[in-house]
């Protein structure tokens, strides 16, 4: 039995799963057995050739590939985070060309150790010495920014909380299955390689050079770089296989316990995602995006009341507007949706948090799925501060005296007239049923103070461009004419600062009628 303990010096682990693209917002957690063995080989090439004989390295890698490791991970200290930045394109850095990267990583809040354990026996003195030297000289694990210190682990391993998932083995409600890359055993690779070569017999001549390039051993297969694999046409490294591991769910329990530790007894009312896509949707599509997210949450939770607004018999909940609101946000100079915030005044219980954190994508137009990266949950105040670990702050929960429309307000009533066709006025002299009157009525129902000014706005700015309210999607049903739904924008001033969120009118639970601080 042998174990390696890793300490992440910057508290970060950056690694993208083999079958995922970096902008999908996925992280390989735990580190895959394939990655761990390649790291040992890479360390030998760059830092230990003079101190470790290659024969000892080959024997060590062959034995470690013969078994899947188990892990002891500090799951109570782990969270997901992300950055967005530009980096040079491959082979084009001299031209100054860059591409946008959505980089998701695992953050270890207290730099807790990650331990990988192999149940191998029979390591001789040279093999153990080789592993000790290599582990101590590892500089990073995953991408280069994941600085790490490694060492051989002696004594008690601690709680093993991640291990291979056996066939037909059930998962508990607080666990999930993850798919990671692992190497074949030497015997499995020999059988696979021979079967692959037998399959090439009788095929076209252009397949024959591939047989000559096929690695002779699992040790050689682990050294193939990505450029070579692409050049040879491999969709997956030869000698590799995908295996399922069981692990505790990353976010809900962690964030919920963190709130309880601060003495907060109420349920969290806010959950937030970052959104990424090869073709990100514009804010004008907020209603459509929110509707897709709502349907996905309903499907995953079997129509839980916190998402549907109805009880188990399909009857609307008596306490109005307590179920989930889905708000789309656009930060920076772009016109695209960058974040999605869920807000439920009744609070998200543990089952709801499991549903939310497990939502990773929804379908997008043109075949470009929308990737959702769960940032965490908490109270509104947890997401207002721009310096929090959630990244960009959520101004929807800020306090301000003046609020302006971010998405169009769609009235729920029509103007009323007397029998003589004269406008019907209320006690303040306002025409009943007009957009301004409807705004006042809904603000009163929401418990907000009487505004001192309501100023109509003809358009909003998305990026640096004027956008008319009619350019927004204003209907959930396919084929329904949006032009029949008149929409407006307003600047509303209150006599005193008011805390958000403020969302009014038709579709307010899906992001229409949303106001932001001026």
**CATH fold of 2-248, please?**
Alpha-Beta Plaits (3.30.70)
For residues 371 and 361, the answer to whether their CB atoms sit within 8 Å is yes
Question: Average of pLDDT values for 33-42?
Answer: 93
Q: Could you tell me how many residues make up the chain?
A: 518
Confidence of residue 163 (pLDDT cuts 50, 70, 90): confident
Q: Which of 164, 162, 358, 161 is nearest to 244 (CA)?
A: 164
* Phi, psi of 164, rounded to the nearest 5 degrees: -60, 145
Question: Average of pLDDT values for 433-459?
Answer: 85
pLDDT in tens, 391-418: 456 888 888 999 999 889 888 887 777 7
Terminal CA-to-CA distance of the chain, rounded, Å?
62
Q: How far apart are CA 45 and CA 36, in angstroms?
A: 15
Check residue 211 and give its pLDDT: 58
Question: Average of pLDDT values for 219-238?
Answer: 85
Check residue 390 and give its pLDDT: 39
For residues 451 and 492, the answer to whether their CB atoms sit within 8 Å is yes
Check residue 388 and give its pLDDT: 39
Contacts of 398 (CB under 8 A, 6+ apart): 384, 499, 500, 517
Confidence of residue 263 (pLDDT cuts 50, 70, 90): very low
Q: How many CB atoms lie within 10 A of CB 121?
A: 9
For residues 59 and 209, the answer to whether their CB atoms sit within 8 Å is no
Q: How far apart are CA 396 and CA 517, in angstroms?
A: 7
User: What single DSSP character describes residue 44?
Assistant: I
Supply the DSSP string of 258-323, one letter for each residue.
HHHHTT--SPP-EEEEEEE-SSPPBGGGHHHHHHHHHHHHHHHHTS-HHHHSB-TTSPBPSSTT-S
Q: How far apart are CA 23 and CA 250, in angstroms?
A: 19
Residue 25 has pLDDT above 80, yes or no: no
Q: Is 34 helix (H, G, I), strand (E, B) or coil?
A: helix
**CATH fold of 251-387, please?**
Alpha-Beta Plaits (3.30.70)
Check residue 431 and give its pLDDT: 73
CA dihedral 56→59→60→61, nearest 10 degrees, is 120
State percent of the chain over pLDDT 90. Answer: 16
């Amino acid at each position: 039995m042998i174990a390696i303990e890793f300490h992440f010096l910057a508290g970060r682990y950056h690694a993208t799963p083999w079958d995922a693209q970096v902008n999908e917002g996925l992280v390989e957690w735990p580190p895959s057995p394939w990655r761990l063995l390649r790291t040992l080989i890479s360390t030998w090439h760059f830092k230990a050739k003079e101190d470790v004989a290659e024969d000892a390295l080959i024997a060590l890698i062959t034995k470690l590939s013969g078994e899947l490791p188990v892990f002891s991970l500090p799951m109570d200290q782990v969270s997901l985070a992300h950055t967005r930045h530009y980096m040079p394109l491959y082979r084009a850095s001299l031209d100054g060309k860059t591409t946008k990267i959505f980089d998701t990583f695992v953050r270890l809040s207290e730099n807790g150790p990650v331990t990988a354990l192999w149940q191998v026996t029979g390591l001789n003195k040279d093999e153990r010495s080789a592993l000790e030297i290599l582990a101590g000289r590892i500089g990073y694990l995953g991408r280069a920014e994941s600085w790490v210190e490694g060492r051989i682990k002696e004594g008690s391993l601690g709680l093993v909380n991640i291990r291979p998932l056996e066939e037909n083995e059930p998962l508990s409600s607080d666990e999930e299955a993850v798919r990671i890359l692992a190497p074949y055993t030497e015997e499995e690779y020999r059988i696979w390689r021979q079967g692959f070569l037998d399959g090439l017999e009788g095929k076209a001549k252009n397949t024959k050079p591939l047989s000559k390039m096929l690695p002779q051993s699992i040790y050689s297969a682990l050294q193939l770089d990505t450029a070579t694999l692409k050049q040879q046409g491999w969709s997956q490294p030869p000698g590799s296989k995908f295996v399922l591991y069981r692990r505790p769910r990353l976010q809900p329990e962690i964030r919920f316990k963190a709130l309880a530790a601060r003495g907060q007894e109420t349920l969290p009312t806010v959950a937030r995602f970052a959104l990424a896509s090869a073709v990100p949707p514009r804010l004008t599509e907020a209603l459509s995006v929110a509707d897709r997210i709502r349907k996905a949450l309903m499907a995953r939770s079997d129509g839980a009341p916190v998402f549907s607004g109805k009880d188990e018999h399909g009857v609307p909940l008596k306490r109005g507007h307590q179920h989930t609101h889905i708000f789309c946000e656009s930060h920076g100079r772009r016109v695209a949706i960058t974040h999605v915030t869920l807000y439920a005044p009744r609070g998200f219980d543990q089952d709801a948090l499991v549903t939310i954190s497990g939502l990773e994508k929804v379908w997008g137009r043109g075949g470009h799925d929308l990737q959702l990266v769960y940032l965490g949950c908490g109270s509104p105040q947890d997401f207002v501060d721009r310096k929090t670990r959630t990244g960009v702050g959520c101004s929807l929960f800020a306090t301000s005296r003046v609020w302006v429309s971010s998405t169009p307000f769609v009235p729920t009533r029509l103007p009323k007239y007397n029998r003589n066709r004269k406008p019907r006025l209320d006690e303040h002299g306002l025409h009943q049923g007009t957009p301004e009157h409807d705004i006042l009525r809904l603000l009163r129902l929401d418990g907000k103070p009487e505004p001192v000014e309501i100023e109509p706005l003809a358009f909003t700015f998305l990026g640096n461009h004027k956008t008319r309210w009619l350019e927004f999607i204003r209907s959930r049903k396919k084929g329904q004419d949006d032009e029949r739904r008149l929409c407006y924008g307003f600047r509303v001033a209150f006599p005193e600062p008011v805390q958000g969120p403020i969302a009014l009118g038709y579709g307010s639970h899906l992001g229409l009628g949303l106001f932001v601080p001026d």
